[in-house]
Chains A and B, each alone.
Chain A
């Protein structure tokens, strides 16, 4: 029993730091409506800056000063990011803001790598709090007790700031209705900068406080942003008390899982300690299904500016058709050039697979209007499906290439059923949760999926087991896949999808079951992503949980956004650009992430409508404008 209580105390200590990061994220979201992907990076910066300062300033005062300094420094960096970058893209569609903050993640990660190196850095213990106290006959670190206190203290301070000051009143007003606040004559730029700085400062503080507990490392950004997202969504976007309660719940449930360890239920043994990787996402999925706006959240008002309306779809003109035919023909003769460019075929297979993956994501994101953050789940299900059908069920490549997309589709049937009940950011987060759940199953089920090592030796059947043959196989399947996706967008179903996105009210009033249409769209996208995954696994010969990771989902998002959501050719252009960039940049520098991030930032600032969108607009501008001539 005492071990249980101590474990609960441990949970409380973990909750504090989680709360600080999540509170900052929630504040920023509330006012700017930006889901700040870089928030975890700010947290990581907090840890690193605190490390450097505390190493330089020895002694008790020096340590505590370092923590405060780190928080302030990160707050300053946050303000700088807001002023230099985000301020320019508030008018852009929300997904672009997300893309920009994701680019920041890449840049900051490499910045940290450059300054502090790749080694884990173990910080000092907090002076005065090194020891432990005895609680119920067990030693409990004094520092953890301090952490337990600091969470509620910060909650109280933020609450006072928001409810008892004029500035806080303005922040709360901005959270409810920015346009109205602006109409009342409040100058918002500095308010938003201030909120961003405060949010960043809380993240920095959360990071700095964590220094005595765990070494600073480069993986902290993604881990903490995942946790923070979950906490914010569970608590309700924009609600600080919600973030606190959610942080407590999640930290405690994790602590209980660790305490439970391995438990036998009759013949089954469940390892609860392994569940810690996924339990928060399970909690989030349950909360979102029961209370779609989180525990303390309220439904969001629809934003009043949502970018330019999308132009109607027009079937491809003659020139575009010929271009597509020429492109495919050009690719078909690639194997002839194998002598000069031996790498071309390998890269082309990657590009083709990426294009199919991105097009399937675009299918639900653009015309479907559902922003999936966990599309890697279906890619991964297809990949694992193909690998397991071959390894475990002994099916040949041909059969598993056909069945793997079905497996992914079945996954989409289940995940999609829950996801379409939500919309906007909440839908994005739920899909992210499902992606993480799929990932952690593949990661931990050693006997079946090979766990973190994955599986090897998944090669194509004899006839396709050479570069040229497999290239042709991929080319044919991807072209067919892309054509089918496009064809469906021009079908009544594709129109119904866009209708449901444009106006749920009107769609419902003319007999369209929007949820069901979205569900089917989800499944179709899942099937095609699964096909891409299956092609992927045979092209590499091996598989690891990497194919299911958040990074893979984010890659897909970047491809779609880079190409442009509103253009059908967008995902293809984006996938090719992104994969090619990643490939060339990664081979030329150690800091490929920063370079990639820089390129994305540049593209976001210069082409807010995406690459294909930009080209499209250019073509329209150059043509005599028919609409204007009317």
Chain B
């Protein structure tokens, strides 16, 4: 059985169906890319998996346990880490403290009032930072980092409670090409070494085709294709949503049908 099973997942905002009944699986040790044009519903799907948005319908199961209706922090406790499209870190903490914070939380020490946080799990945090190549910057304020580095710190934070599933929302947005490849190579290594499942969205196709084991394509809230790089590249529907049908100037009704 796959680690993550998504069945009939839906989300509507008012009358708009942002995600309209999608199914897919992610297996342990798999790097799955979720791609699609802007507004396809990628981030919405993400936010439903990690509990930030409540699904309007359908189910999300992790190891057979239902996630819909749980809060992000509860889902995190079950072993789902995530990074955000616009990196979210704690600006007033140092780099290593950011990671320590996640470790403190995963060891259930949040309500300890008297011990010193600065020395708590510091070595483990440094080790995680070492893995993402940020150890040298451990004691700098997180607010002083370049954006690409913040994203790497975010990855270290997300790895702190040894997750089974990692959700990465546009992990390489805003990074230089070299940084992108480094980050994705690192992610790929983690997938292999830790048998980690990774679901990520991405706009830069070179990254997707170079690293993803498998990819699924979302357009207007629906899954239109799934498969290997080769299959997706040649899939007529995918070509249509990305490049159009050449029927742009025909009647709107015809277009509707084509897209559906």
Contacts and interface: CB of A to CB of B under 8 A. Distances in A.
A513 B111 CA distance: 11
Interface stretch (A53-61, A79-87, A250-258, A486-494): A486-494
B73 A508 contact: yes
B110 A496 contact: yes
A510 B140 contact: no
Contacts of B76: 508-511
Given A309-B92, A503-B88, A520-B111, A510 B101 contact: yes
A145 interface: no
5 contacts: A309-B141, A309-B143, A312-B94, A509-B158, A512-B73
Q: Which of B94, B101, B143, B154 has the most CB of A within 10 A?
A: B101
A418 interface: no
Contacts of A488: 113-114
Interface in A470-491: 487-488, 490-491
Q: Interface extent on B, as a size class?
A: 35 or more
Given A496-B110, A511-B105, A511-B161, A506 B73 contact: no
A493 to B, nearest CB: 5
Contacts of A509: 50, 52, 72-73, 76, 81-82, 84, 88, 158
Q: Which of A487, A492, A499, A513 has the most CB of B within 10 A?
A: A492
Contacts of B73: 508-513
Interface in B88-142: 88-94, 97, 100-102, 104-106, 109-118, 120, 140-141
Contacts of A309: 91-92, 141, 143
Contacts of A495: 93, 97, 100-101, 104, 117
A360 to B, nearest CB: 15
Given A312-B93, A506-B154, A509-B158, 13 more contacts: A311-B141, A487-B114, A495-B101, A495-B104, A498-B90, A502-B90, A506-B90, A508-B52, A509-B84, A511-B73, A511-B76, A511-B105, A511-B161
Interface of B: 50, 52, 71-73, 76-77, 81-82, 84, 88-94, 97, 100-102, 104-106, 109-118, 120, 140-141, 143-144, 154, 157-158, 160-161
A315 interface: yes
Contacts of B161: 510-511
Interface residues of A, number: 33
Contacts of A315: 118
B112 A493 contact: yes
Nearest to B89: A506
B116 A490 contact: yes
Nearest to B109: A492
B90 A499 contact: yes
Nearest to A489: B117
A214 interface: no
